[in-house]
Structure 1
């Protein structure tokens, strides 16, 4: 009886080993070993993030070039914009690092046509004269020229305050247009949520700047 038990135990052990080996051999057919993880960001999200980072970076330059002796209300608004956009730049840079993507877009604004938006989509919100997506390398909406930035650096007093408000208001409107376009193209996730947050925050700040310009008897830039 004892011998039979040992034989039976040895047989069961051998069967278990055989089943394990069979499972290892069959595993590639049942569960692929090389499952590719879904991308962290899709091409539209990467393009929008890259371009919005560049857009935010110019906002920081506009803030830096404001006359230090400007009205405290303007200075406070400028600081608020700077603080918010620095945080968002850090967040977006983190996304791009996770996606192993460059922080700069080799083809600015090309993400606008990555999901077939060219043609029948209304791009009036982008303040562009065409009804198709901008070509690769197209300028981002709301960006200031070097001449305008130099003029802001040289301006003082009320002239500096007015020019700052005009440049930043146009800049915010361009950023809101970009965020709205991303919101339409991205279905869900943190990029979409951040784009919506940008729309809300920058629209509110744009409203404040519009009122401040009106108080100074100045008009927004075209």
Structure 2
């Protein structure tokens, strides 16, 4: 076999290896870019929803813990217990997603900016950062109430809280890209709407 033929075969083999290596590198780069683009950034609806709903849930848990100390009514205490467990768990899932994305647990951006809905514009006041959230005065009033008065105030505050939460969850399920966040938002919408209907019946039973 001539030297020219050997050289040609060697060159072809080297080229083939180089092509395979380049192809593998391009595949790896494509995967890396795909993963990077799949991670929501600070300006995404996913991150905005996670930040806002985590804060929203935190107050619902706070209201529910308070009312369980202010009444012995089993129906209201059972509702409060369900809210505490459900929303604390959902809040943990949202914070977990933020951690997985390498984002902080909270944001300095204005609440609700990710929604871009004019009807959701809200001016924070007295600790009520978002629509439906109770003010500091309302929370203090709940702490000072007891019995039926505490039950009615809690149900009224949580109804407004949930109604705003349902609107936020609806937007989250439509605007978010992360499958887990979309599914979680849809679940929140269904669950909170059902509790709004339950609270309407409980308020009616109490003449409110």
TM-score normalised by structure 2 residue count: 0.80
User: How far apart are the structure 2 equivalents of 1:136 and 1:19?
Assistant: 64
What does residue 57 of structure 1 align with?
A: 58
- The structure having more radius of gyration, on CA atoms, is 1
Aligned equivalents of 2:171, 2:20: Cα separation in 1: 50
Q: Which residue of 2 aligns with 1:110?
A: 113
Q: What residue is the counterpart of 2:78 in the other structure?
A: 76
Q: CA deviation at 1:40?
A: 2.4
* CA RMSD of superposed structures (Å): 3.1
Runs (4+) off by over 3 Å: 8-19, 21-24, 32-35, 133-139
Summarize the alignment of residues 1-222 of structure 1 with structure 2, pairs less than 5 Å apart: 16-17=13-14, 19-21=16-18, 24=21, 27=22, 31=26, 34-35=29-30, 36=33, 37-41=36-40, 43-68=44-69, 69-107=71-109, 108-113=111-116, 123=119, 126=120, 139-186=129-176, 189-218=179-208
TM-score by length of 1: 0.75
Report the alpha carbon displacement of residue 82 of structure 1 after superposing the two structures with TM.
Answer: 0.7
Write the distance in 2 (CA, Å) between the matches of 1:136 and 1:153.
22
Partners in 1 of 2:168 and 2:153 — Cα distance? 23
Higher helix fraction (1 or 2): 2
Distance, in Å, in 2 between the alignment partners of 1:136 and 1:32 is 48
Aligned residues: 197
Structure 2 stretches lacking a partner, 5+ long = none
Q: Secondary structure at the match of 1:100?
A: coil
CA distance in structure 1 between the partners assigned to 2:172 and 2:123 by the alignment: 16
Rounded to whole Å, the distance in 2 between the matches of 1:18 and 1:136 is 65
- Cα offset, 1:186, TM superposition: 3.2
